[in-house]
Amino acid sequence: MTEKIGLAPGSAIYTGDVEFSAPDIHAISYNKDNVTADEHQSFEQLRETYNSLDGEKTFWTHVEPISDQESIAKIGSLFDLHSLVVEDMLSVKHRPKTEEFDDYIFIVIKYAEYSNSELSFSHISLILKGDALLSFADKTPDKFENIKKRLEKHDSRIRKENGQYLLSTIIDYIIDDYFVVLENIGDEIENLEEEILNNPTKESIERVHRIKRTLMELKKKIWPTRELINVLIHSDEIDPKYYIYFKDVYEHIINIVDITEGYRDTISSFLDIYLSTLSNRMNEIMKTLSIIATIFIPLSFLTGYFGMNFKYETLLESQSVYVWSNALMLAVPIGLLTYFKIRKWF
């Protein structure tokens, strides 16, 4: 956000780290009878397509990436978006939210991805303007190809509904990927738990702290999304018949929050398990050393006693005493080990 310090409100400044490139524009118009998809459109083609809409079809435009701030600002002007909306579209660190304007609804949401034990988010902006839906993404793995394939099916529900249903579908698709992220984190937690119980290392505790930070970051992104959906459920701009779909997404979010909290409690308990495992290992080591020391204490006494320089050495000059002393020193550790075994000390 430091890139915007000192600039006027509404300045179209991209704050992400995606390499600069012209936006790839996908324009799709559809109704229950047919669908028209125009990929890799230029700005001029998009303007022509948008101006030729007759209101009988739902129009969806997906723009990705958004690193070319001038092009994004031009597209925003084409659809009469407020300059502050364009600014938020380009501010990839902005928290999820919903804002209602006179003739459109503006939504900021985060797409989560977990790969190579690293959590990353894509900044996605959605604008619902009548029967037109605009989506702007910083970066996504598939550019919503799954939803586009559903549009190609003649009997799909999405073809029979308007842009509000498409909006709920896209948001549901984004939220569902949080479950994939949590599943991957859950697998990593299970492996980490087994490692800490069997062979804890310094790297294990570092992984505990990393996963804990990951879960905190995940909660920071999903928690405001709950309020985002709540605004849509109570919005006058949304047809009440679509409330049920947004409520379903809301329940998914609550479930995600609960799972995240459960994982955080689990990972926090790993610190206690780690310390307990180290303590148990230290106790085992100390027990082994104590047994060894206990065995050698009487042996040290015997060797020390017979190693003294007596004035009278008649006893030490006896060959039988030499044999019996060796037998005694052999019997002592055997007797002690047997005693320890009977007491189940090892």
Q: Are residues 123 and 248 in the same domain?
A: yes
- The arrangement of strands across the sheet holding 58-64 comes to 35-41, 24-30, 58-64, 132-137, 118-129, 105-115, 97-100
SS3 annotation, 275-335: HHHHHHHHHHHHHHHHHHHHHHHHHHHHHHHHCCCCCCCCCCCCHHHHHHHHHHHHHHHHH
What pLDDT does residue 315 have? Answer: 54
Does residue 59 share a domain with residue 165? yes
- What's the pTM? 0.79
Pair 236, 338 in one domain: no
253 and 292 co-located in one domain = no
What are the tokens at 167?
């909006």
Digit-coded pLDDT (tens) for 300-343: 777 776 665 555 555 556 667 667 777 877 887 788 778 777 87
pLDDT (tens digit, 9 = 90+) per residue, 72-128?
Answer: 999 999 999 999 999 999 999 889 999 999 899 999 999 999 988 899 999 999 999
Task: Kindly state whether residues 244 and 317 are assigned to the same domain.
Answer: no
Query: How many domains are contained in the chain?
Result: 2
Question: Are 205 and 229 part of one and the same domain?
Answer: yes
Residue 153 gets which letter from DSSP? S
Please answer whether residues 211 and 189 qualify as being in contact, where contact means their C-beta atoms are separated by less than 8 angstroms.
Answer: yes
Phi, psi for 285 (deg, rounded to 5): -65, -45
pLDDT digits (tens, 9 = 90+) for 116-148: 889 999 999 999 998 899 999 998 888 888 898
Q: Provide the residue range defining the domain that includes 179.
A: 2-275
- Looking at residue 26, its pLDDT comes to 92
- Per-residue pLDDT band at 271 (split at 50, 70, 90): confident
322 and 208 housed in the same domain: no
Domain boundary among 253, 275, 297: 275
Q: Are residues 70 and 146 in the same domain?
A: yes
Q: Are residues 257 and 290 in the same domain?
A: no
Q: What are the tens digits of pLDDT across the range 164-210?
A: 999 999 999 999 999 999 999 999 999 988 888 788 788 888 888 89
Whether residue 167 is found in the same domain as residue 289: no
Domain match, 169 and 77 both: yes
Boundary (domain end) residue, out of 248, 275, 302: 275
Q: Tell me the CATH number at 300.
A: 1.20.58.340
- Residue for token pair 């956000």: 1
3-state helix, strand, coil in the chain (%, to 5): 60, 15, 25
Percent of the chain, pLDDT > 70?
Answer: 92
